[in-house]
Structure 1
Amino acid sequence: MKITILRATLPLALIATLAACGGTKPSEEKAETEAKEGAEAPSQGVIKLSPQQIATAGIQLVRPTVGGGGAIELPGTIEGDPQGTQVVSAAIGGRVVALTRNLGQSVGRGETLAVIESREAAQLNAEVEAAQARAALAQSNLRREQRLFNERVSAEQDLIAARTAAREAEIALRLARQQVSAAGGGGGSLNRLAIRAPIGGQVIARSVTLGQTVAADAELFRVANLSTVSLTLSLSAADAGRVRPGATVEVSAPGRQATARITFVSPVLDATTRLVPVIAAIDNRSGQWRVGESVQAAILLGGGGGNENGGGSAVSVPSTAVQTIGDKPVVFVRTGDGFRAAPVTLGQASGASVMVLWGLTGREQIAAANSFVLKAELGKGEGGDED
């Protein structure tokens, strides 16, 4: 009986001993292998690029727009700033004998655009010279009468008359000079007047040719300072009630984007369209916007949404910043040595931007234009891992 029990328990003891000595070795090796592989595997969604490589790829870096509660999308038209556009006309008629600027050329304030030759110009200049002579004679008489009065030779009445005549001659001279200045100023000779630019800017229109005879008040040039242009919009009365001066407008056209600020919301409806005229100002120092072109505008409304990152305002990014990887939208966020693909949850699109409900705080720097280059680079990296 004892022998039977010993034979039954021996296999069990042997199994326990083997298990204690080396039975867990395969699982330990598996865990060690996985840890090693995890340490050697590259970080998912990370792309290392130097600043030079970023510039060469043409990747544009922007920051998300924070704030907003939706947008009003509508077409708009670029126009010149009314305060930055001036019509240059001839105050007198005559023949154009010189032109110093052509279309597209820059001109400074007070610089000569054209020179007009006419009999009227000769008359104005002659009046100035005659007034100068009369003023000089009146001053000479005044000095003489003052000397005679001091010597008690002349009466005080004569001194007062000389002083009055000198004052009248001075007024006549100033009037003659102002008439010449209003006509354009000196043009180099007695019968010529210079037409000067009232503001600095660029010549955007020229309706005169050399040798042409022009009438008084005829438009010769149009000069515009296009460093700032206007965006004109037309809103319904209901939409205009939600827009205030200072609101941000995202302006887009093929290959171009900009941000404008609303400067005027009309309190009166247009009598013809029954819409509310709205004007926004755009910085155009780069010269990318042309007067008269049609663009797409999105007026960002205040208030709203908040995001799930703990921020109190909605975050929006350019549509070009959003890429799709594995059927999920991502935005490439700038890091110290490149970019990382940040998964995001998107909201409503408004013009050239889209709202991000989750995934960004608004303080990041992200890739906008040409962000597809990063997607392609990330795809190559994943393909290499698979190989």
Structure 2
Amino acid sequence: MKRFGLLPRIILAIALGIILGSFSPEWLIKLFATFNGLFGNFLGFAIPLIIIGFIAPGISSMGKGAGKLLGITTGFAYASTVAAGLLAFFTATFLYPILLKNQSFKEFENPEEALLSPFFQVDMPPVMGVMTALLISFTLGLGLAAIKGNTLQNSMNDFRDVIEKLIEKVIIPLLPVHIFGIFANMTQGGQVGAIMSVFAKVFVMIIALHIIFLLIQYTAAGSVTKTNPIKLIKNMMPAYFTALGTQSSASTIPVTLKQVKKLGAREKIADFSVPLLATIHLSGSTITLVSCAIAVMMLQGQTASFAEILPFVLMLGVTMIAAPGVPGGAVMAALGLLESMLGFNETMIALMIALYLAQDSFGTACNVTGDGALTLLSDKASGKDKKAQPRAVKAS
């Protein structure tokens, strides 16, 4: 199963959930509903730990190498991530009323009533609320960046490693089972047809947005370097397809670095910017998260206004630095915001995870390919007289 990637497992789980949910006895569906309840409660317990475990050491590590190049690169990464989120929002707002017309759970007075309830539940209350975890993360991260001591920093790094293992060894392996249970339950409730139709349409729109945003990024990079943007993108294709296979920006760093240097970026700039951007620049993932979130809200008969989405996107740009280097890391880091800012419940979160993971590799490939454009922009903005730069933080 280790060689059977996450994406095939997710697809298999969805297919089996639909097939078995159409004829399985009620007790079997309730058994998986019980697992879903336990897993969902555990996920709620883990969300504040994930936030603290990744955001605090991420912010503190960025600050320790503070300098002109760090500020420029981080600024470009944040602007790119926010712009990607807003592009996804405006596109979804325009297209979804057409693409997803009459595809919602409005026919159910209460969507939860269409799903079988579990045999029993076990409460797993989180140690703190999501906003408290975010505030603690920012306080610790900025504080650690300002002081010279390493004791707490090392402790936070160890805590991050523990949470990484939790995600990689427990949460991610159990996600296919969770998604299987959700789809089996929705199938017996008569809801799965709308879901699968939405999956297909949202998937196509997201891939199109990835391509459009890469063209925007490389048009900007090409204009400052006076190079054909199509040639720049073509040169980054090895990194794109490597990320498509590994589903990890960190694992693709050697290939990304090699191709970025071929674009003409100075070696010292590339050596600093590429590992840093692999950690903090997730424009492709943000496009996916915003697109999927709005789709899930529409399935529930809800609407997303600009006033609701803008704070979410702005916070998402910061929270993305918490995304660990495992498949699905971005959606794991974003669960707290989905819950606290957009009001996602357990069913909505499960649908969000399934939608996101179905195209996670494409989002990662977009992230990695865009790193080349941002490195060229950082190179141009940093000026010609560059002294040796500090090494970038370790990509997560």
Structure of higher RCO (CA pairs closer than 8 Å, 6+ residues apart) = 2
TM-score range, shorter chain: under 0.3
* TM-score, length basis structure 1: 0.16
Higher helix share: 2
Higher Rg of the two aligned structures: 1
